[in-house]
Structure 1
């Protein structure tokens, strides 16, 4: 498989069911948090939504920036990467209005993200960003990128449901002193 080809297993998905939610609930109870819940949400999103690139970002509202706390492609998108998100339409929609963002084409990705060339260079042509919120405030985002035309409104609804399992981990991350969070 070449760098810009999407793995065939990334294209096979199935409907979300109660076993997926049970899997996430059990993952929350395990030690080694937040990695257990991050890995569990990633696995459920892979099976039910479909993705090639998956990241979880925490959101620091005071600094108006997001920080990558989980990634399935650390060589391309390492943890710890930060992005300022002030004054963009994406930030207003996702971080303030708590509405998912979906772009179905490479042009849509280019219009919203500075690193669009990296994504499209990997053969990715659609993106879905799910705001993770607690008490009416964004605490982070769950981000999936895949081939062009992949994501739908149904994927947004599934993403909001499974992404809600990330709220506690991201809230804790945002309220802990620097260095105390074990996200990798």
Structure 2
């Protein structure tokens, strides 16, 4: 944890001054980049009443813009992330293809592994932090770092973004 002290301190300073979603999630992305790494970073909000998800932040607006919504799909990924409130981790494009219909685009961006981290506030899943990188990237030690260093800051960024 002490090896990431400066990254956490930079996040703390940035989030203290954040007044909108873009600034809050940019601070979170910087923390992720400095501690775990991600070729693609997004934050999706969830509206279960309307049964839609919306990309609220993206590191790649050309391929993954923030405009529009997409319907919630009730599948194995939904069970893991929404119902069980667990991280979804896939370390091959074959495993990503099982749950994400846009796996071809994901692969074309050089991403073959993913971690989707649920963000829960007040007992409600409000969004997911999505980190993607090369094949096999999110090994157990990186996922542990995400749990230890990113989970609480992600909640804080989500609060600021609201």
TM band (smaller chain):
0.7 to 0.9
Please tell me whether residue 106 in structure 1 is matched to residue 93 in structure 2. yes
Q: How many residues align?
A: 161
SS of equivalent residue, structure 1 residue 68: strand
Q: TM-score, normalised by structure 1?
A: 0.78
**Distance in structure 2 (CA, Å) of the matches to 1:63 and 1:79:** 18
| Structure 1: tracts of 5 or more residues without a match | 1-14, 175-184
C-alpha change, 1:83 and 1:171, in structure 2 (3 Å) is farther
2:152 paired residue among 161, 164, 168: 164
3-state SS of the aligned residue for 2:73?
coil
Partner SS, residue 153 of structure 2 = helix
1:127 matched to 2:111: no
Task: Indicate if the aligned counterparts of 2:21 and 2:160 stay in contact, CA closer than 8 A.
Answer: no
Q: TM-score, normalised by structure 2?
A: 0.87
Q: Distance in 2 between matches of 1:131 and 1:29?
A: 23
Q: Which runs of 4+ in 1 moved over 4 A?
A: 171-174
Tell me if structure 2 keeps the 8 A contact 1:129–1:143.
yes
**Gap regions ≥5 residues in structure 2:** none
Q: Is 1:150 the counterpart of 2:137 in the alignment?
A: yes
Indicate the residue corresponding to 2:52 in structure 1. 65
The more displaced of 32-41 and 110-119 is 32-41
For residue 55 of structure 1, the aligned residue among 39, 42, 58 is 42
CA RMSD of aligned residues (A): 2.2
